[in-house]
Amino acid sequence: MGGERTHGILAAAIAITAIAGVSVRADMTFDATHRGLYRSDGAVNTGPAVSLADTYTGAAVGFTHRSYFVFDLTSLNSSTVTSATLRLEVAVWLAGNAAEAFDVYEITTDVADLVDGGASATIYTDVGSGVVYGTGAVSSSDVGSVVEVTLGASAIDAINAASGNSFAVGLDLSSIDGTTQPITGFEGVRFSTSNEVRTHQLFVEAAPIPAPSAAFLGLVGLAMTSCVRRRFA
């Protein structure tokens, strides 16, 4: 009986030491908490993710529209993000072209000001200018599907800097060329209409979380082994 118990504890000690080099990669998905749009004359349609949240992006009736999405990174804590992908479901296609392109921008406006619903030509400019985080492609066949945009190094730096807070991105249709949809006269894409649930997500991969060092766990194993030997000597 004593030998069997000794072997069991020894096996546990070996197992503890063996997992020393194992690390776990933290993959996380954040749903948008707010979304909306700003128009070139400063008009705004903004709100929580499922309220007053039209995200039409493109040209319409003499104006251009830029959309934005906000993500709560509170649960990111101190993890270091190494890659990021923006995932957006396409709700409605409103363009004469079969395909369009859009840029994903940094937003420097404070998130509280971005989502408060106040008209602002300044915020409209900010939502579609400055640092480009990535470029996406979308087509009429994507309606009902999710398009993905790989975000670059500047976005990853910004996400890490925003860890524990909110992170926002702006979208601007970069391919506007006047080819409008005949009936509506629009040239753009809507990622969501007001009061509807759509997939708008930020997916991140974080650096592996290191397990306790092999040296430390090795000492734990030796201590367990020593206790066993003294007990059954």
Q: What is the pLDDT of residues 155-203, one digit of tens each?
A: 999 999 999 999 999 999 999 999 888 778 899 999 998 778 899 999 9
Q: What is the pLDDT of residues 96-136, one digit of tens each?
A: 999 999 999 999 999 999 998 788 999 999 999 999 999 99
Rg (CA), the chain: 25
Per the domain annotation, does 7 fall within a domain? no
Domain count, the chain: 1
Q: Is the pLDDT of residue 5 over 70?
A: no
What pTM value is reported for the model? 0.79
Amino acid, res. 192: S
Q: Do the beta carbons of residue 51 and residue 44 sit within 8 Å?
A: no
Neighbour-count burial for 22-50, b at 16+ CB within 10 Å, e otherwise: eeeebeeebebbbbbbbbeeeebbbbebe
Q: Is the pLDDT of residue 77 over 90?
A: no
% of the chain with per-residue pLDDT over 70: 75
Neighbour-count burial for 98-122, b at 16+ CB within 10 Å, e otherwise: eebebbbbbbebebeebbeeeebee
| Average confidence score pLDDT of the chain | 83
Least confident of 29-38, 41-50, 59-68: 41-50
Q: Dig out the tokens for 32 from the structure.
A: 């948008």
Quick one: pLDDT at residue 88?
Answer: 98
Q: Do the beta carbons of residue 6 and residue 25 sit within 8 Å?
A: no
Residue whose C-alpha is closest to residue 148's, from 83, 227, 196? 83
Per the domain annotation, does 147 fall within a domain? yes
Q: Is the pLDDT of residue 1 over 70?
A: no
Quick one: pLDDT at residue 136?
Answer: 97
Q: Do the beta carbons of residue 73 and residue 167 sit within 8 Å?
A: yes
Residue whose C-alpha is closest to residue 89's, from 168, 213, 191, 162? 191
Confidence of residue 17 (pLDDT cuts 50, 70, 90): very low
Q: Measured between alpha carbons, how far is 108 from 110 in angstroms, rounded to an integer?
A: 6
Per the domain annotation, does 219 fall within a domain? no
Per the domain annotation, does 116 fall within a domain? yes
Per the domain annotation, does 220 fall within a domain? no
Per the domain annotation, does 94 fall within a domain? yes
Quick one: pLDDT at residue 13?
Answer: 45
Quick one: pLDDT at residue 116?
Answer: 85
Per the domain annotation, does 57 fall within a domain? yes
CATH number of the domain that 54 lies in? Answer: 2.60.120
Quick one: pLDDT at residue 187?
Answer: 95
Quick one: pLDDT at residue 47?
Answer: 63
Residue 175: domain span: 29-210
Q: What is the pLDDT of residues 48-70, one digit of tens each?
A: 654 446 899 999 988 999 999 99
Per the domain annotation, does 186 fall within a domain? yes
